[in-house]
């Protein structure tokens, strides 16, 4: 009776146990299915810079160019480069074995080239193998940022078919040589591990199969408890029932942790292959495969970046295990054991172009959810030129430090209150944003002063007033530069010039050139404030502009990027580009999801743009920005300085037909910087431009149809009379404004003067 009860009890317990195991198995099965059928890994999306073009005759900045190559993970070697990623440089040449160039638009195998330099110019680019000249060479885009989720993991997925057999053998030899024989659990392996560990009195060998390791990594916590071990075993068995061995192995090879790059972990053999050896997994050699396999047990302990000898010993253990399993011949083993452990090295780069990335992220967030960016492994291609970005960052830091040295009153103890600055560099004709520096230090302040700040532009706004006047006025038109009081909404307003002047009547050109406030207000009043507001509204300033006389002096705040964009219209022959930072988005399979092209809109005629360019060139050659000449800026540049009341803001916007840069300097709390646009912002601009000679073509602004040049009398602005008008000047006019009258002022003196000159000649001849 007693036995019967026990038997029944046992049967019930067995039934319940089986039921519990089955339901647990079913539960795990569901979890595994969910996990494996959905996306298996979160792959961070990568943001890339634009590609870099190199061509013979191109000027380069050797320092930035070298930095660019290092950022692209090229490594210096002393021998002639024989592997992708190697370079050997001297002042006159660069031998480089290029990486593959893989973008959605092109796929080029890496090859070796020799670039020769003369006087900081590229002289020749030749293929190293056959000496063939290369007219234009494109360097791969630079990885500038990864959108990580909560897990900071780098991973490049590989399919099992891509994995070389020797890597599979190495992994199996190192971790689970009976993988293809067992069903998730390997009693023989457990027993062997138990005996080994007993012999050594410590844990020397693990008995876990690959499937168990995967179960642990994928579904469980790393704690060592009996319950976890039971769960792990159960999961492994279920996994083996549901999936093929190759599928499990593929997931394992992509999952395993294989090292650390700064704060980011390296997961999977695909990523590790690049991290340690700079090549895809398909190109790994047998000893390299054994090295990777050897890392699995303790990636950082055996890392070749930590200790090459220890790494080599571990690799050799793996090679011997491969030999023992019959996967490696004796001869190959002996040769592989002697192989060096050659790694590519790595650099942990700081955050690159952080303000640009924030600006880009805002646009991406409109297209993708944040979790999608951190998990879908998208490739995001941008317009950023990292050489320009580096140059801009350096110029700003240097320029602000210079100002603080010159004027110690500008120094602040609190870093958050420090003098600030911002730079944006654009290509005016395409709208590409080449660089964006939104502040002095991103770690101190993430406020992007290019895209988020609203500041008074001061005189940097004046060109839009002059542009609005061009239907009625010409560069030779005269304006009153005399003091006047204006009434605005019942209050009197009396503007003043920056410095007292003696010229009470000035031409339009001179007024802009010297940035006269009184003449500009006079022009604005004659042009009509409503008309100016109307014209500026076409430039898409998002900040409000009101028809007040102070509008003419830049009293209404603007967002610096919008001001830069507006100036692009002048540089781009009257066409406004949409500022582009994003070029394209591609998914893991290489399918293009988004593609952005240059987007332009004609705002003003090429003729008006040219007149503006020509007047703004005067600002640089003879006006408030003339100090550029002594800063070695000797090519055609147009630009405008800007300084606001109490010296709260200093601006310089300068451009050529190829490139435009805006520099702003000021305090966030609008303290005075006691410096002008010319003394504070302009030197930063000059420093930046001299650092990026590849963008300086020295091209002139092309004269478009609808513009005519005449020699005029500088006093009257009318056609000049030879031997009569004392100061002839060449001036450009819109076709409708070309003067047809001769200077009346000097006409009456003309005859006498001519006779006098004739007489003088006659007497001098004797």
Catalytic residues: 175, 459
**Residue in 597, 634, 736, 757 binding another protein, rule: CB under 8 A:** 597
**Residue in 699, 726, 736, 757 binding another protein, rule: CB under 8 A:** 699
Task: Output 369 or 760, the one with its CB closest to another protein.
Answer: 760
Residue 697, interface with another protein (CB under 8 A)? yes
Number of neighbouring beta carbons within 10 Å of residue 345: 13
- Min. distance of Cβ 123 from another protein in angstroms? 10
Number of neighbouring beta carbons within 10 Å of residue 409: 11
Query: For residue 100, what is the DSSP state?
Result: P
Residue 186, interface with another protein (CB under 8 A)? no
**Residue in 196, 703, 714, 745 binding another protein, rule: CB under 8 A:** 703
What values do phi and psi take at 321, rounded to 5?
Answer: -65, -35
Whether residue 529 contacts residue 487, with contact meaning beta carbons closer than 8 Å, is answered with no
Task: Report how many residues bind another protein under the rule CB under 8 A.
Answer: 57
Residues 485-544 that bind another protein (CB under 8 A): none
**Residue in 236, 386, 430, 613 binding another protein, rule: CB under 8 A:** 430
Distance separating alpha carbons of residues 109 and 63, to the nearest angstrom: 27
**Residue in 351, 540, 702, 757 binding another protein, rule: CB under 8 A:** 702
Whether residue 679 contacts residue 704, with contact meaning beta carbons closer than 8 Å, is answered with no
Distance separating alpha carbons of residues 560 and 665, to the nearest angstrom: 11
Residue 594, interface with another protein (CB under 8 A)? no
Angle between helix axes 308-324 and 330-338 (nearest 10 degrees) is 180
Residue 549, interface with another protein (CB under 8 A)? no
**Residue in 213, 374, 427, 641 binding another protein, rule: CB under 8 A:** 427
Residue 708, interface with another protein (CB under 8 A)? yes
Task: Output 330 or 766, the one with its CB closest to another protein.
Answer: 766
Task: Output 269 or 660, the one with its CB closest to another protein.
Answer: 660
Distance separating alpha carbons of residues 376 and 305, to the nearest angstrom: 30
Near another protein by CB under 8 A, which window of 197-205, 512-520, 556-564, 743-751? 743-751
Distance separating alpha carbons of residues 138 and 639, to the nearest angstrom: 32
Task: Output 367 or 719, the one with its CB closest to another protein.
Answer: 719
Task: Output 56 or 528, the one with its CB closest to another protein.
Answer: 56
Near another protein by CB under 8 A, which window of 221-229, 429-437, 538-546, 624-632? 429-437
**Residue in 602, 634, 736, 757 binding another protein, rule: CB under 8 A:** 602
Number of neighbouring beta carbons within 10 Å of residue 299: 20
The H or E element containing residue 739 is: none
Residues 41-100 that bind another protein (CB under 8 A): 53, 55-58
Residue 740, interface with another protein (CB under 8 A)? yes
Task: Output 25 or 750, the one with its CB closest to another protein.
Answer: 750
Near another protein by CB under 8 A, which window of 34-42, 329-337, 553-561, 707-715? 707-715
- Min. distance of Cβ 615 from another protein in angstroms? 18
Near another protein by CB under 8 A, which window of 224-232, 360-368, 601-609, 677-685? 601-609
**Residue in 26, 105, 194, 200 binding another protein, rule: CB under 8 A:** 105
Task: Output 136 or 195, the one with its CB closest to another protein.
Answer: 136
Taking the CA atoms of residue 709, residue 714, residue 715 and residue 716 in that order, the dihedral angle to the nearest 10 degrees is 0
Task: Output 641 or 694, the one with its CB closest to another protein.
Answer: 694
Residue 760, interface with another protein (CB under 8 A)? no
- Min. distance of Cβ 51 from another protein in angstroms? 8
Distance separating alpha carbons of residues 462 and 558, to the nearest angstrom: 13
Distance separating alpha carbons of residues 335 and 290, to the nearest angstrom: 13
Residues 604-663 that bind another protein (CB under 8 A): 606, 657-658
- Min. distance of Cβ 571 from another protein in angstroms? 9
Burial 584-603 (b: 16+ CB within 10 A, else e): bbbeeeeeeebebeeebeeb
Residue 601, interface with another protein (CB under 8 A)? yes
Residue 425, interface with another protein (CB under 8 A)? no
- Min. distance of Cβ 740 from another protein in angstroms? 7
Residue 754, interface with another protein (CB under 8 A)? yes
Q: Which of 689, 693, 684 is nearest to 652 (CA)?
A: 684
Distance separating alpha carbons of residues 488 and 192, to the nearest angstrom: 94
Distance separating alpha carbons of residues 555 and 545, to the nearest angstrom: 9
**Residue in 252, 432, 541, 570 binding another protein, rule: CB under 8 A:** 432
- Min. distance of Cβ 665 from another protein in angstroms? 28
- Min. distance of Cβ 584 from another protein in angstroms? 8
Residues 122-141 that bind another protein (CB under 8 A): 135-136
Distance separating alpha carbons of residues 286 and 166, to the nearest angstrom: 6
Residues 319-378 that bind another protein (CB under 8 A): none
Residues facing residue 707 across a β-bridge: 734
Radius of gyration of the chain from its Cα atoms, rounded to whole angstroms: 36
Q: Which of 614, 136, 156, 673 is nearest to 400 (CA)?
A: 673
Per-residue x/- track, 565-584, another protein (CB under 8 A): -------xx-x-------x-
Distance separating alpha carbons of residues 703 and 313, to the nearest angstrom: 72
The number of residues making up the chain comes to 766
Task: Output 550 or 694, the one with its CB closest to another protein.
Answer: 694
Residue 728, interface with another protein (CB under 8 A)? no
Distance separating alpha carbons of residues 533 and 548, to the nearest angstrom: 9
Distance separating alpha carbons of residues 320 and 314, to the nearest angstrom: 10
Give one DSSP letter per residue of 56-77, joined into a string: TT-B--HHHHHHHHHHTT-EE-
- Sorted by sequence, the CB contacts under 8 Å of residue 629 that are 6+ apart come out as 620, 621
Q: What is the 3-state secondary structure (H, E, C) of 43-57?
A: ECEEEECCCEEECCC
Residue 9, phi-psi category: left (phi > 0), alpha (psi -120 to 50), beta (remainder): alpha
What values do phi and psi take at 662, rounded to 5?
Answer: -115, 135
Near another protein by CB under 8 A, which window of 189-197, 355-363, 600-608, 679-687? 600-608
Task: Output 260 or 703, the one with its CB closest to another protein.
Answer: 703
Burial 740-762 (b: 16+ CB within 10 A, else e): eebbebbeeebeebeeeeeeeee
- The residues that touch another protein, with contacts defined as CB under 8 A, are 53, 55-58, 105, 135-136, 427-430, 432, 572-573, 575, 583, 592, 595, 597-598, 600-602, 606, 657-658, 697, 699, 702-705, 707-711, 719, 721-722, 724, 735, 740, 742, 747-748, 750-752, 754-755, 758-759, 762-763, 766
């Amino acid at each position: 009776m007693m036995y019967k009860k026990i038997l029944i009890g046992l049967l019930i317990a067995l039934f319940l146990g089986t039921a519990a195991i089955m339901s647990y198995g079913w539960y795990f099965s569901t979890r595994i299915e969910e996990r494996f059928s959905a996306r298996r890994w979160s792959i961070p999306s990568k943001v890339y810079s634009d590609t870099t073009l190199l061509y013979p005759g191109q000027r380069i900045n050797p320092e930035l160019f070298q930095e660019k190559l290092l950022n692209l993970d090229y490594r210096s070697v002393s021998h002639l480069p024989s592997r992708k990623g190697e370079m050997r440089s001297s002042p006159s040449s660069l031998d480089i074995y290029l990486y593959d160039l893989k973008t959605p638009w092109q796929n080029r195998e890496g090859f070796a080239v020799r670039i020769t330099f003369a006087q900081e110019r590229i002289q020749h680019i030749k293929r190293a193998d056959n000496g063939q000249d290369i007219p234009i060479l494109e360097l791969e885009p630079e990885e500038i940022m990864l959108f990580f989720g909560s897990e900071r993991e780098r991973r490049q997925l590989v399919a099992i078919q891509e994995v070389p057999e020797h890597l599979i053998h190495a992994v199996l030899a190192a971790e689970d040589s009976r993988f293809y024989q067992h069903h998730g659990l390997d009693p023989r392996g457990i027993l062997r591990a138990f005996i080994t560990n007993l012999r050594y009195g410590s844990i020397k060998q693990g008995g876990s199969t690959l499937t168990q390791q995967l179960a642990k990594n994928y579904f469980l916590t790393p704690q060592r408890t009996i319950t976890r071990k039971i769960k792990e075993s159960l999961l492994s068995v279920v996994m083996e029932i549901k999936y093929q061995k190759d599928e499990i192995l593929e997931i394992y090879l992509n999952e395993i942790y294989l090292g650390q790059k700064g704060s980011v972990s390296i997961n999977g053999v695909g990523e590790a292959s690049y991290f340690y050896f700079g090549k895809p997994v398909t190109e790994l050699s047998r000893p390299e495969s054994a090295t990777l396999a050897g890392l699995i047990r303790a990636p950082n302990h055996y890392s070749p970046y930590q200790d090459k000898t220890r790494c080599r010993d571990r690799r050799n253990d793996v090679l011997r295990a491969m030999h023992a399993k019959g996967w490696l011949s004796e001869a190959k083993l002996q040769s592989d054991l002697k192989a060096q452990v050659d790694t590519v090295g790595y650099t942990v780069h700081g955050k690159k172009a952080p303000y640009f990335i924030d600006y880009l992220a805002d646009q991406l967030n409109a297209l993708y959810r944040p979790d999608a960016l951190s998990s879908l492994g998208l490739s995001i291609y941008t317009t950023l030129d990292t050489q320009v970005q580096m140059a801009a960052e350096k110029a700003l830091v240097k320029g602000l430090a210079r100002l603080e040295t010159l004027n110690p009153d500008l120094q602040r103890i609190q870093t958050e209150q420090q003098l600030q600055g911002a730079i944006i560099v654009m290509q005016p004709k395409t709208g590409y944003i080449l660089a964006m520096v939104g502040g002095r230090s991103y770690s101190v302040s993430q406020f992007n002063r290019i895209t988020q700040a609203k500041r008074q532009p001061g005189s940097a706004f004046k060109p839009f007033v002059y542009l609005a006047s061009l239907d009625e006025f010409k560069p030779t038109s005269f304006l009153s530069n005399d003091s006047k009081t204006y009434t605005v909404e019942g209050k009197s307003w009396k503007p003043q010039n920056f410095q007292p002047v003696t010229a009470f009547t000035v031409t339009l050109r001179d007024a802009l050139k010297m940035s006269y406030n009184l003449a500009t207000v006079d022009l604005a009043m004659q042009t009509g404030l409503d008309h100016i507001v109307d014209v500026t509204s076409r430039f898409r300033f998002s900040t409000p502009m009101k028809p007040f006389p102070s509008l003419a002096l830049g009293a209404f705040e603007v967002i610096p990027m919008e001001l830069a964009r507006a100036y692009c219209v002048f540089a781009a022959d009257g066409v406004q580009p949409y500022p582009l930072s994003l070029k394209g988005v591609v998914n893991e399979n290489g399918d293009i999801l988004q593609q952005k092209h240059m987007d332009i809109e004609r705002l003003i005629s090429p003729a008006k743009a040219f007149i503006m360019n020509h007047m703004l060139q005067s600002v640089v050659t003879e006006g408030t920005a003339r100090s550029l000449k002594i800063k070695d800026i000797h090519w055609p540049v147009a630009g405008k300085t800007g300084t606001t009341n109490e010296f709260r803001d200093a601006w310089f916007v300068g451009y050529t037909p190829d490139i435009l840069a805006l520099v702003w300097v000021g305090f966030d709390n609008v303290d005075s910087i006691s410096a002008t646009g010319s003394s504070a912002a302009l030197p930063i601009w000059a420093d930046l431009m001299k650092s990026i000679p590849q963008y300086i073509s020295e091209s002139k602004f092309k004269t478009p149809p609808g513009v005519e040049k005449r020699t005029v009398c500088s006093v009257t602005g009318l056609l000049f009379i030879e031997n009569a008008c004392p100061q002839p000047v060449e001036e450009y006019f819109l076709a409708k404004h070309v003067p047809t009258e001769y200077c009346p002022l000097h006409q009456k003196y003309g005859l006498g003067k001519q006779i006098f000159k004739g007489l003088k000649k006659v007497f001098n001849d004797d």
